Amino acid sequence: MYKELYKVWLQKADSLYQEELKAISKDDKAIADRFYQYVSFGTGGMREKLGGGTNRINTHTIRLAAEGLAQQITAQGDIAKARGVVIAYDTRHFSQEFAYETAGVLAANGIQSYLFKESRPTPELSFAVRYLAAYAGVVITASHNPKEYNGFKVYGEDGAQLTPKFADEIVAYMEAVENIFAIHTLSKQELQTSGYCIEILEKLDDAYNEALKTLVPTIGDKELKLVYTPLHGAGLVPTKRALTEAGFMNMHIVIEQAHQDGEFSTVNYPNPEEAASFEIAIELGNKVGAELLLATDPDADRLGVAVKNENSYNILTGNQLGALLLNYILLTKQQNGDLGTNSAVIKTIVTSELGTAIANSYGIRTFNTLTGFKFITEKIAEFEATGENTFLFGYEESYGYLAGSFVRDKDAVQIALLTAEMAECYKKQGITLLDALHNLYDRYGFYQEALLSFTFEGIDGQKRITSIMEQLRKHPPIEFAGIAVTQIEDYYIGNLNGLPKADVVKFILEDDTWICVRPSGTEPKCKVYIGVVKTNAKEAKESIEILKQTIHHTLEV
């Protein structure tokens, strides 16, 4: 089947892809990798390497996804078509072109679109969908993936990632397309005169920024010295504006990383989770004496933070920053008499339990969700529908956080602002964020986490990941590093702890250590999360290292 698809693409695909497809004519493995399936489309949309083929992101697979969305909207009637779709894009290769392709397919189906004139963050897209009362939103992005990737991410009318039902309907319409090369679309020129595409920018920027201001108690000159880098991505304009208007006048932008660049030429991997992404920011920080470094990923939904520590900078983990923000929010609200008894925190099952301990100490309930921020925002919607709880803060270990529910996805822009405000507050008390973090450890115990990520690409890689998960279920370990397993949570059975079915297995050990294994939903990886709580850093580090060795042996990787 894949060989036949390859032949068809050689004849009919856009000329942009012809040379690379011809170059693999004698490489059966490469052909199979590009054509053994269509790019998987789930509740997070689709994300894959750029290039020719059904299993790649390109003009044709983007049109296919847009056609699936268009047909789903058409089935809802004229009102849905008129409400339309907001379209945003990041700074990756072909992101703008794919945004226009999406609008062209929608217009060909008589569907209105609102297209950002410039690259803007994913969270601003989420905000815009709600602000414009649109039916849906699309953002062309591959988030923090390497430069070779791009993607197509869809949001519902609530500004949140798709529900499974919505995603399944789009997939069904995509599968009904008989000829991917015959999808009707409008060219960019036709689109601009069609009346079906309205360009947006300033009005949405202003509205989003006004919403951001509600997160900070005071607007005025701040003393904190900080450095910000957008890592060549879409975060520069809104993040710089938010910090400046809040009064952070001692802000320095990493100029080398401020220009939009799909090559991400100054970093190997545009992910603020990676220490290397901070190298240039650290150089600038040392030069200007910055106390805080902030970095957003290409679509500005993830935030990385580094804090000055004597002669160096300590990069905080997602769990550490999440705990600091949570405690700061709770403490501030408590001091202001604004901490309601029904306030609630939401985190994922692979996020540190330090957050739970902190929330408990304030008498606040913590809700756990599956991995993926869409589950956190689903919980927010549930709170609003029932009125039983009020959303306070949501976060996950992978640098995703949300404090203001005017956005329904993780938002690095609002969290950059809130983190700077927190650092300013502690500075006035004569302490740093690192001091505040160690105060939390002294009070609640030394929590430490680690992530092992094993990459298995292609058809064989998928089989390997499936095999790992099957073996864990058929022959579950009874201990790790000599510590007995006391509980196994297999979320594949469905409705475990009130959560939907998912390919996730979590092991709880007798000393409160936990280990969680899951396939990545967006990358060809099997991920293993580890969490321990000890009395000090030395014990925690030693425990983590021993567990890592045991896991490598257990999974035979």
d(CA 82, CA 111): 6
Can you say whether residue 23 is alpha, beta or left, with left for phi > 0 and alpha for psi between -120 and 50 degrees?
alpha
Question: Counting beta carbons within 10 angstroms of the beta carbon of residue 363, is it exposed (0 to 12), middle (13 to 18) or buried (19 or more)?
Answer: exposed
Contact status, residue 434 vs residue 291, Cβ threshold 8 Å: no
User: Phi/psi of residue 140, each to 5°?
Assistant: -90, 110
Neighbours of 539 (CB within 10 A): 14
DSSP codes of every residue in 456-515: --HHHHHHHHHHHHHHHHHS--SEETTEEEEEEEEGGGS-BTTB---S-EEEEETTS-EE
Catalytic residue among 95, 126, 143, 398: 143
Q: Which of 384, 366, 368 is nearest to 498 (CA)?
A: 368
143 is annotated as an active-site residue: yes
Q: Which of 513, 332, 297, 499 is nearest to 411 (CA)?
A: 297
Distances (CA, A) of 156 to 26, 153, 159: 43, 10, 6
Contact status, residue 226 vs residue 251, Cβ threshold 8 Å: yes
Q: What type of residue sits at position 58?
A: N
Grouping H, G, I as helix, E, B as strand and the rest as coil, residue 55 is coil
Contact status, residue 530 vs residue 544, Cβ threshold 8 Å: yes
3-class SS string, 331-398: HHHHHCCCCCCCEEEEEECCCCCHHHHHHHHCCCEEEEECCCHHHHHHHHHHHHHHCCCEEEEEEECC
d(CA 474, CA 468): 10
d(CA 311, CA 141): 37
d(CA 467, CA 480): 20
d(CA 137, CA 86): 5
Q: Between β-strands 197-200 and 113-116, what pairing exists: parallel, antiparallel or unpaired?
A: parallel
Distances (CA, A) of 493 to 130, 314, 473: 35, 41, 11
H helices present in 113-251, as ranges:
122-131, 164-175, 188-194, 202-213, 236-245
Neighbours of 60 (CB within 10 A): 21
d(CA 17, CA 52): 5
Grouping H, G, I as helix, E, B as strand and the rest as coil, residue 330 is helix
Grouping H, G, I as helix, E, B as strand and the rest as coil, residue 451 is strand
The catalytic site residues sit at 143
